[in-house]
Amino acid sequence: MTVPRQALIAAAVALCTAGGAIGATLMRGPAEVRETFYLFGTLVEIEARGAPERVAREAIARVGQRLQAAHKDWHAWRPGELESLNAALAAGESRKVEAGLAALLREGRALSCASGGLFDPAIGRLIEAWGFHADVPPDGAPPPAAAIAALVARHPRMTDLTITGDEVRSDNPAVQLDLGAFAKGAALDLAAEDLRAAGVQDAVLNAGGGVKVIGRHGARPWRVAIRDPFQWGVVAAVSLRPGEALHTSGNYERYFDEGGVRFSHIIDPRSGRPMQGIVSVSVLDPSGARADAAATALAVAGPVEWPQVAAAMGVRAVLMITDDGSILATQAMHERLEPVPGGFPAPVRIVALPEATPPPACSNG
Ligand code: ADP
Ligand code: MG
């Protein structure tokens, strides 16, 4: 299946520009402040309202610095704290990391465990082998199957990590951390907390495929659109409740095509190969880190297995678009979808979620 060229540059989530019609003009209040940063391989836009302009500007500037630092510290293939940690883990050594990174790794390990290992930031070597440790998508042939099989056979997993205070070690030297599947979500959560602590009561943080909000957009909620990955359109709009995040993962932003096959940057840790069958997954949750991790995990799980994985990760509101253009949604997501002019691009099929299952016991400190 090919996706139209123009969809390739479309972020999966876009801010709706007004309370209703897509494309209408945003009414700008006097105390609205907006800044854009280039981070995590994407534009991060922060808009604050309802705070004195000076307070909002200073708060956003500080948040920008914090996001810059996170970008550097958590980068999967450039010099920084994570790269140093990866070198230590590969050498079988333990290493002390900054408290924020230790907390992020704990969260990542718990989310990975809940996902049954479908979201697993320990598979950095596989992601690198497929050529995705670069700013531009790879062009060329897939890596040799034997090289991938050898990496999979070493079973790198987040549950190989032991985190004692701020000290991290791995029982398995094949672990190489790549936080790309949930770092953006986690960073937007932290940034939102910082903005709130600085006195900003209403804000939206938007970073290519991920949105997190604080408060409301004046008298109405912050409203975002889920883009239609097949064309220049919108699947639906969603009004976000204060504190909520919406994250989308898909196969149409970072990928390469070879021999008529699309190779996505989302890798199935079980096969070591890019996931198949899914064009995009959107997850709505109060935690951006969880929504981001779950969007990746459910893309790996695929069109049949995903409800179990969603339940295990504790997410209820999910929208999935499959290769054949089918739109699947949980009841909790369906209730939140607001049709846009022209309606849904395809009928939305509601998929029941099993009861939330208790997370498996796979933590080791
Ligand atoms: P985006 O970066 O477009 O928001 P994702 O949140 O799905 O998309 O993250 C994809 C990134 O996550 C990949 O570029 C890679 O760095 C990493 N990754 C790929 N597959 C997995 C996986 N199964 N588990 C954890 N991380 C993954
Ligand atoms: Mg993700």
Tell me, what's the pLDDT at 34? 95
* Per-residue CA distances from 4 to 107, 255, 346 (Å): 36, 14, 17
Residue nearest to atom 14 of ligand 1 (CA): 265
**What does pTM read for this prediction?**
0.91
Distance 130 CA to ligand 2 centre (A): 18
254-287, pLDDT tens digit by residue? 778 887 888 899 999 999 999 999 999 999 999 9
DSSP reduced 3-state for 202: strand
Measured distance CA(30)–CA(53) in Å, rounded: 9
Give the pLDDT mean for 322-337: 96
Question: Does ligand 1 have an atom closer than 6 angstroms to the CB of 287?
Answer: no
Is the pLDDT assigned to residue 12 strictly greater than 50?
no
Atom of ligand 1 nearest to the CA of 249: 7
Residue 33: partners with Cβ closer than 8 Å, 6 or more residues away: 47, 48, 49, 51, 53, 56, 57, 60
Q: Hey, which of 48-52, 82-86, 207-211 has the most confident mean pLDDT?
A: 82-86
Per residue in 127-183, pLDDT (tens digit) is: 999 999 998 888 878 999 999 999 999 999 999 999 999 999 999 999 999 999 999
Q: Identify the pLDDT of residue 293.
A: 98
Give the residue extent of every domain in the chain.
Answer: 81-170
Domain 81-170 sits in CATH at 1.10.3980.10
Q: How far apart, in whole angstroms, are the C-alpha atoms of residue 202 and residue 222?
A: 9
Count the helix, strand and coil residues of the chain and give each as a percent rounded to the nearest 5.
30, 25, 40
Give the environment of ion ligand 2: residues with CB less than 5 A: 181, 249, 292, 295-296
pLDDT of 324 reads 92
- Other Cβ atoms less than 10 A from the Cβ of 176: the count is 26
pLDDT of amino acid 192: 98
Can you tell me which atom of ligand 1 is nearest the CA of 178? 16
